[in-house]
Amino acid sequence: SQQGEEDPQALSIQEGENATMNCSYKTSINNLQWYRQNSGRGLVHLILIRSNEREKHSGRLRVTLDTSKKSSSLLITASRAADTASYFCATGPLAGGTSYGKLTFGQGTILTVHP
């Protein structure tokens, strides 16, 4: 079963605009990760934020995490046509359990950036 929901399911913007995607999850986590997938190919890791972090930046990406609301957001600034892809959030379980190697993914947001 999926850990959470992503919102919106699809997002269409123009080049140069910012894109914001949201992710909610259900259980306590150790970390939350964002991945990009181009047209049914492999997933590319974008950023990992730990449960004790509130915000993280990487290039044009900004990720926030609110563990009290069990939610995260991914902001892509100054988007480009090459950013067109599906974006997934995935949660890593708390340490001390037995869920080794298991990321739990959301359903994803399909982002289309028009030139």
DSSP state of 16: T
Report the chain's terminal Cα–Cα distance, integer Å.
36
Peptide bond into 8 cis (omega under 30): yes
- Specify the residue, 17 or 51, whose C-beta has the smaller distance to another protein: 51
- Specify the residue, 43 or 63, whose C-beta has the smaller distance to another protein: 43
Shortest spacing between CB 112 and another protein, in angstroms: 17
Shortest spacing between CB 18 and another protein, in angstroms: 25
- Specify the residue, 43 or 74, whose C-beta has the smaller distance to another protein: 43
**Residue 56 CB burial class (10 angstroms; 0-12, 13-18, ≥19):** middle
Shortest spacing between CB 73 and another protein, in angstroms: 19
**Strand ranges of the sheet holding 61-66, from the earlier edge strand across to the other edge:** 5-7, 19-24, 71-76, 61-66, 55-58
Question: Alpha carbon 106 to chain centroid distance?
Answer: 8
Interacting residues toward another protein by CB under 8 A: 2, 30-31, 33, 35, 40-45, 48, 88, 90, 92-108
Shortest spacing between CB 60 and another protein, in angstroms: 19
- Specify the residue, 101 or 115, whose C-beta has the smaller distance to another protein: 101
